[in-house]
Structures are given as structure tokens and as C-alpha cells.
Amino acid sequence: MLNETRKGWVRALPRIRFNIMSSVNKSTGYSPFQLRFSKSPRVLPPLLLPPPNPSSEHIQAREVINCVRLDVTDARDNLMLAKISQSYFANKNRADSFPYKVGDLVMLSTLNRHREYKNSMENRVVKFIPRFNGPYLVTNTHHEASTVSLEIPSAPNVFPTFHSLLVKPFRANNDNKFPSRTLKNLGPIVVDGHEEFFVDCIIDHRKIGKGFRYLVHWRGEGPGEDRWIKGADLDDNKAVDVYWATSSLP
């Protein structure tokens, strides 16, 4: 229908519009032509000839108007049935009350962050990204919109409000059943009565202008304390050299 230069739209649009108007809508059960003109045009000429002496009923406008009115009424009923069916299946697994409250810990889906994850490093493959990460603290809930606001310290520039379908409750590890899965948080390192923070490793990086910003994991801290730090603040830091040396491997 279109050529390689994509310049055939003027010739293609009438045929596209005709096909759309001739297609039967799944919800209404009618084509747009049927609802507007009380009949759908035939692509081929009719095979049957009209009667030799047509009666007045064949040409009366009132019959056409009544037919259109009946089709539109039937289409509205079909739309109502479609809405009821969609609502039933949409609400089938929904709870009567909002499942989250302020102070809860939740896991956030990474579904909409695949591109960001892949573009941050050449050798990354999306299939290895976790489906959820966190936990994150719920700071606000919006029942009318089914959304929650989260505290995401590792990504301060990200809009913190997400639909409830993108989060799930955080369940702490059962130390009795799975003792090896527990991530030990050693806490900050104290030197002469003062807390000292040491870079354990670099997790990720972003290109910011002419420089970089690094996601830093602190020694003795859990994943929830990871922070984005400007590259200028990590000059002569060995963790940065190790990060680039590792990420450059095939």
C-alpha cells in the first residue's frame, strides 16, 4: 500500500478509512457504516437484481431512519454488556480495600525500567534484570487513583508515584527456613566515636553532562542505603577504577 519512501499516504488513507468503517467493532457488534447509514457497502457489485416493481418501502426514508435507530440502540446494549464483562474480569482479583498504607515496605516492578538498565552499560542484557527490586518505604497513598508514593533514595530524580499494580508487599526472609538468604547489615563503621562511610563498590553509573554519576554501595550498609554520588566526589577512589575495569570485560 505504501512505497519505500513512505510517500503514498494520500492514496492509502481513503482505503484505510474504508476498511475501518467496514470493520465490525467487537464491543458494538456493528460496523461504523452500519450505524451511520444502516447498511455496509458491498465491495463487489450485488449479484441479485432489484425487483421489477419496487414498492414504496424500498425508498422510504422513515424505514432507513428506524433501522439506524434500532442498530444504534442494539449497539449501546452491546457496549453496556462489554463494559460489564470487562469490569467483572478487571475486579475479579481486586481487593475491596486499598492494600497499602503509609509505612509499609513494598517491592517495585522493573518493567518500565528495562531501557534505562540496558542503556547504562553496553554489555547488559535485559533478561538478567530482577523483576522487582527494593524494598521501598510507602510515604503516601492515593486511594482514588490506586497509586502509592515511595521513598527511593537511590533515584532522587525519579517521579516517586506508581500504580499499585507495579508494587507488591515486601516479605522479609524466614531465617528459620532460609538462613543463607539473609543479607546482614553490619551498620556504619565507627572511628573515634564518629561514623565513617567507605565505598564498598560501584553498582551502576549514569552519564550526566560531560561527567558521570555513580550508584555507590557503602561498606557495612544494606542495599537500601545505596546513593547516587557525583563523579567529582569520587576522584582517586579505587572502587571507580575497579568498576570500569570490570565493566569493560566482554
How many Å apart are CA 202 and CA 197, to the nearest integer?
14
Reduce the secondary structure of 103-153 to three states and give it as a string.
CCEEEEECHHHHHHHHHCCCCCCHHHCCCEEEEEEEEEEEHHHCEEEEECC
Among 177, 103, 99, residue whose Cα is nearest residue 135: 103
Q: What are phi and psi of 233, to 5 degrees?
A: -85, -5
How many Å apart are CA 212 and CA 203, to the nearest integer?
13
Cα 54–chain centre separation: 58
What is the DSSP code (8-state) at residue 181?
G
Preceding amide of 32 cis, omega within 30: no
Q: How many residues does the chain have?
A: 250
Query: What pLDDT, on a 0 to 100 scale, did the predictor assign at position 172?
Result: 79
Give the DSSP H or E segment for 201: strand 199-208
Cα 96–chain centre separation: 24
Query: What pLDDT, on a 0 to 100 scale, did the predictor assign at position 47?
Result: 47
Whole-angstrom CA distances from 38 to 27, 144, 223 are 18, 41, 64
Query: What pLDDT, on a 0 to 100 scale, did the predictor assign at position 48?
Result: 54
Give the DSSP H or E segment for 212: strand 211-218
How many Å apart are CA 202 and CA 117, to the nearest integer?
15
pTM above 0.75, yes or no: no
What is the DSSP code (8-state) at residue 163?
E
- Class assignment of domain 181-247? mainly beta
Q: Mean pLDDT for each 10-residue chunk of the chain (250 residues)?
A: 61 79 82 82 56 64 73 85 86 76 88 69 68 86 87 78 88 75 60 70 81 81 74 82 69
Spans of all domains in the chain? 9-44+54-91, 105-171, 181-247
